[in-house]
């Protein structure tokens, strides 16, 4: 019984994610699929961007379940739409922020997040509070490079990430580093090596890879989100959004 994990990238920017990033983790019984938004922002760097990404992220989650996916991963460290998407899905829906934070909390005493812009720090700290792991958060640090400029100079990004990660370990006493943007995929090893070169043997978490494999594990285990927390929405008039129907409802028509 092969499992398929759907990666929903909650922006409209073609090419920002390819499944090559996850190819090393495919197995005989595990495949990945992908979808991008048709409606929403080109990148997510604040609450406003996130708000406009959510409606189509929900729609793409419903479509993933209708397509037969076994789990959904929302491909952004802000976990946009995680909670409403869980309401409309029976399959597990995971966010890389929540998942990475919990895995980081398991691997060491405290963790730091190294992210794009300082303006997302309040959002990440608030999420740590809601996810219940705020006591394990050492700090949030930023390299001050906008999301859409990340791919322009990967070397510069990587050096800036390594610098901030080292400061987090040295000054903030972080024991684990979480990369704070799913666009940093592929940078973890280099940062880990740089930390080791400075005497710190510290895990560096690539959020999208971790979340994809945890999602697969939950699907294997038959576990999904609680329906007392994430009850299906009641039917009611809605104007301006043509949301797809959930598989059960669609089947019943």
Q: Among residue numbers 132 through 171, which ones bind a copy of itself (CB under 8 A)?
A: 132-136, 146, 148, 169
Q: Are strands 3-9 and 111-115 parallel, antiparallel or unpaired?
A: unpaired
Residue 69 found at the interface with a copy of itself (CB under 8 A): no
Task: Pull the structure tokens for residue 87.
Answer: 């309401």
Measure the CA–CA gap between 70 and 218, rounded to whole angstroms: 9
Which DSSP state fits 235? Answer: P
Which residues in the 37-66 window bind a copy of itself by CB under 8 A?
37-43, 45-52, 54-56, 58
Alpha helical stretches, state H, 67-187: 82-87, 96-107, 121-131, 154-170
Residue 201 found at the interface with a copy of itself (CB under 8 A): yes
Q: Contacting a copy of itself (CB under 8 A), which of 23, 28, 251, 252?
A: 28
Q: Contacting a copy of itself (CB under 8 A), which of 151, 193, 233, 248?
A: 233
Residues 168-197, mask of contacts with a copy of itself (x by CB under 8 A): -x---x-xx---------------------
Q: Contacting a copy of itself (CB under 8 A), which of 4, 33, 34, 87?
A: 87
Measure the CA–CA gap between 35 and 17, rounded to whole angstroms: 9
As measured in angstroms, the least distance from the Cβ of 174 to a copy of itself is: 8
Measured CA distances, 73 to 57, 97, 110, 217, 253 (Å): 10, 11, 25, 13, 28
Measure the CA–CA gap between 102 and 107, rounded to whole angstroms: 9
Which residues in the 108-137 window bind a copy of itself by CB under 8 A?
108-109, 119, 121-122, 125-126, 129-136
């Amino acid at each position: 019984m092969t499992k398929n994990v759907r990666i929903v990238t909650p922006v409209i920017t073609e090419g920002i994610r390819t499944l090559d990033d996850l190819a090393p983790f495919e197995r005989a019984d595990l495949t990945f699929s992908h979808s991008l938004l048709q409606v929403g922002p080109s990148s997510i760097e604040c609450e406003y961007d996130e708000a406009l990404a959510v409606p189509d992220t929900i729609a793409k989650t419903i479509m993933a379940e209708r397509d037969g996916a076994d789990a959904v991963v929302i491909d952004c460290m802000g976990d946009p739409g995680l909670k409403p998407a869980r309401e409309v899905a029976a399959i597990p829906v995971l966010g890389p922020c929540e998942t990475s934070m919990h895995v980081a909390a398991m691997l060491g005493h405290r963790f730091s997040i190294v992210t794009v812009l300082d303006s997302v720090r309040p959002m990440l700290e608030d999420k740590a509070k809601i996810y219940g792991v705020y006591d394990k958060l050492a700090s949030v640090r930023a390299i001050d490079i906008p999301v859409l400029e990340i791919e322009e100079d990967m070397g510069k990004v990587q050096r800036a990430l390594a610098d901030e990660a080292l400061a987090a370990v040295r000054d903030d006493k972080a024991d684990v580093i979480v990369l704070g943007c799913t666009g940093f995929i592929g940078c973890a090893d280099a940062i880990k090596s740089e930390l080791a070169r400075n005497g710190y043997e510290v895990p560096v978490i690539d959020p999208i890879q971790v979340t994809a494999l945890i999602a697969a594990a939950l699907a294997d285990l038959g576990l999904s989100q609680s329906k007392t927390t994430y009850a299906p929405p009641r039917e009611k008039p809605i104007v301006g959004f043509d949301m797809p129907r959930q598989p059960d409802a669609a089947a019943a028509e």
